[in-house]
């Protein structure tokens, strides 16, 4: 199914500016999976398999990319679901963590793609501020740009990924131009974690 990521424009090659400000020769847009029912089912099943061996009470999605995956994962696994806003709202309850109460509960933080770890670190901080216990982070794709190492070093939380970018590149190599493959591999080689 990973090959279909290229075919359907989920994995693109060229020049892209990431939310972190970094430039990249590839872009993985897992929001596009939401419009592809077969891919969505497949991605959610991979998340579920990865989460099956983890010990947690609540699934919390990182806004916005992690929310749909956390929602369906929690539903399938019979776990309460929540999400983390980018910042606390300035009205109503003023909460940053919405949905399930995380107080005293082991929380699995779910996001779609991990690059620098900034979004995930912010979500972990919000969960802890709301009284939750960070049980781990689960992402579909680790771009292997030191985000997992940063989260582990700064927050003391393990990051689990369904796929790592280098593995994805090997799977799609026969389906992409050689220059795209080479450019992506050279780009990733500069990251030493």
Q: Which tokens in the block code for residue 149?
A: 């190492």
Q: Which tokens in the block code for residue 119?
A: 């979004």
- Mean pLDDT, the chain, rounded, equals 95
Q: What is the pLDDT of residues 77-116, one digit of tens each?
A: 999 999 999 877 666 667 899 999 999 999 999 999 999 9
Higher local confidence (pLDDT), 83 or 22 = 83
Q: Which tokens in the block code for residue 175?
A: 């389906």
Rounded to an integer, what is the distance from CA 70 to the centroid of its chain?
10
Q: Over 15-38, what HEC string results?
A: EEECCCCCEEEEEECHHHHHHCHH
Tell me which residue has tokens 């099943």.
45
Considering its fold, how many domains does the chain have in total?
1
Q: What is the pLDDT of residues 34-55, one digit of tens each?
A: 999 999 999 999 999 999 999 9
Parent domain of 75: 2-189
pTM of structure? 0.94
Percent of all residues in the chain with a pLDDT value above 90, rounded to a whole number = 90
For residue 35, the domain's CATH number is 3.40.50.2020
In contact, 98 and 83? CB cutoff 8 Å: yes
Tell me which residue has tokens 């795209």.
180
Judged by DSSP in three states, 79 sits in: coil
Distance CA 101, CA 53 (A): 23
């Amino acid at each position: 199914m990973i090959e279909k990521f290229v075919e359907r424009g989920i994995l693109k090659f060229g020049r892209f500016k990431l939310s972190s400000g970094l430039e990249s020769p590839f872009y993985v847009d897992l929001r596009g999976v939401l419009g592809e029912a077969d891919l969505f089912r497949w991605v959610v099943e991979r998340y579920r398999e990865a989460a099956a061996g983890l010990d947690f009470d609540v699934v919390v999605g990182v806004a916005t990319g992690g929310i749909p995956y956390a929602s369906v994962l929690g539903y399938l696994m019979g776990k309460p679901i929540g999400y983390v806003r980018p910042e606390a709202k300035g009205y109503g309850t003023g909460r940053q963590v919405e949905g399930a109460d995380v107080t005293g509960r082991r929380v699995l933080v779910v996001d779609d793609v991990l690059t620098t770890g900034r979004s995930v670190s912010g979500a972990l901080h919000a969960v802890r501020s709301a009284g939750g216990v960070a049980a781990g982070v689960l992402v579909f794709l680790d771009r292997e740009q030191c985000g997992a190492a940063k989260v582990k070093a700064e927050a003391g939380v393990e990051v689990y990924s369904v796929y790592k970018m280098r593995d994805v590149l090997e799977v799609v190599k026969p389906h992409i131009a050689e220059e795209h493959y080479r450019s992506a591999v050279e780009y990733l080689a500069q990251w030493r974690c």
